[in-house]
């Protein structure tokens, strides 16, 4: 792990899944604004290489690496302890990490025409979009039903998306969870943002926006004033419906 250099940063940020793509560029832009960025990735070698690349931009004092796996409880605890002992606080958390959740060859994925951006399962969509009655338990119910159908090999038969369903549902659940957390913690700004159709590995660089353009909206939200709105969903720079 890289040596910690606190520098003159006024804010401390953790970015998950940040060794490449939008996550990497979010780190670069935040560090360029004077934020102390903790770049995290599951793969230590790739994470350290990403930090070295950022140092090439002259950001030596504003970025360090911490190995982190968002689905490993011990890794989460380790990251929390790291932030507590090294910096004493966390000002910005960018939950960027994600995987496609599908095994297929590249040509098959490139040829797939179905949109992978929206959750079209009516029962699940109805629960996750009901902001007034949304709870952690209801989100877990939706995820639990999906996992049950997945284990029974009935995902498509039960109306879940036929392509990248795990990815789509995880994003929808995260968006829903952010609304619950925003209500539960009104002193903390918690928002979601769709960066747009960005050229990244997950879509085989078929997007229309550059990595730099895709990172602009998350960075803007991360740096907004303390009295800015919370519990919202942004489609790039505009407030949009969670649906």
Region 126-142: what's the mean pLDDT?
95
CB 193 within 8 A of CB 218: yes
Whole-angstrom distance, CA of residue 167 vs CA of residue 170: 5
| Phi, psi for residue 112 in degrees, rounded to 5 | -65, 125
101/54: higher pLDDT: 54
**Which residue bears the tokens 């159709």?**
197
Whole-number pLDDT of residue 114? 42
pLDDT at 95 over 80: yes
Q: Write out the catalytic residue numbers.
A: 167
Residue 160 within any structural domain of the chain: yes
- Identify the domain containing residue 116 by its residue range: 101-184
Q: pLDDT of 145-175, one tens digit each? A: 999 999 999 999 999 988 888 888 988 999 9
Residue 59 within any structural domain of the chain: no
CB under 8 A, 24+ apart: contacts of 163-166: 163/102, 163/112, 163/114, 163/116, 164/100, 164/101, 164/102, 164/116, 165/101, 166/101, 166/102
Residue 177 within any structural domain of the chain: yes
How many other β-carbons are positioned within 10 Å of the β-carbon of residue 157?
Answer: 10
Residue 180 within any structural domain of the chain: yes
The two three-digit tokens of residue 39, written as one number = 């770049």
Whole-number pLDDT of residue 5? 44
pLDDT at 200 over 80: yes
Among the listed residues 61, 57, 65, the one whose alpha carbon sits nearest the alpha carbon of residue 41: 65
Element (H, E) at 126: helix 122-128
Question: How many folded domains does the chain comprise?
Answer: 1
Residue 243 within any structural domain of the chain: no
Residue 174 within any structural domain of the chain: yes
Residue 74 within any structural domain of the chain: no
Q: What is the pTM of this model?
A: 0.87
Whole-number pLDDT of residue 52? 96
Q: Which of 1-5, 100-104, 214-218, 238-242: highest mean pLDDT?
A: 214-218
Q: What percent of the chain has pLDDT over 90?
A: 76
- C-alpha 178: how far from chain center: 11
**Which residue bears the tokens 């011990």?**
74
Whole-number pLDDT of residue 1? 43
Among the listed residues 24, 99, 117, the one whose alpha carbon sits nearest the alpha carbon of residue 63: 24
What strands lie across the sheet with 233-235, from one edge to the other? 192-194, 233-235, 238-240
């Amino acid at each position: 792990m890289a040596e910690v250099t606190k520098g003159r940063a006024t804010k401390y940020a953790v970015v998950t899944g940040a060794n490449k793509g939008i996550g990497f560029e979010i780190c670069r832009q935040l560090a360029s604004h004077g934020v102390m960025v903790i770049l995290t990735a599951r793969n230590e070698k790739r994470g350290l290489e990403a930090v070295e690349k950022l140092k090439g931009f002259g950001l030596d004092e504003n970025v360090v690496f911490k190995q982190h796996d968002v689905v490993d409880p011990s890794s989460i605890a380790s990251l929390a302890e790291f932030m507590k002992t090294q910096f004493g606080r966390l000002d910005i958390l960018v939950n960027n990490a994600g995987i496609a959740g599908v095994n297929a060859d590249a040509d098959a994925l490139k040829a797939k025409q179905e949109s992978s951006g929206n959750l079209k399962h009516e029962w699940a969509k109805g629960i996750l979009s009901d902001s007034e009655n949304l709870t952690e338990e209801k989100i877990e119910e939706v995820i639990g039903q999906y996992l049950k159908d997945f284990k029974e090999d009935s995902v498509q038969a039960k109306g879940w998306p036929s392509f990248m369903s795990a990815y789509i549902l995880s994003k929808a659940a995260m968006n829903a969870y952010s609304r619950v957390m925003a209500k539960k913690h009104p002193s903390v700004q918690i928002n979601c943002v769709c960066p747009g159709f960005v050229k990244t590995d997950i879509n085989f660089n078929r997007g229309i926006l550059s990595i730099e353009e895709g990172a602009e909206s998350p960075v803007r939200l991360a740096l907004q004033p303390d009295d800015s709105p919370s519990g919202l969903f942004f489609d790039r720079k505009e407030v949009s419906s969670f649906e």
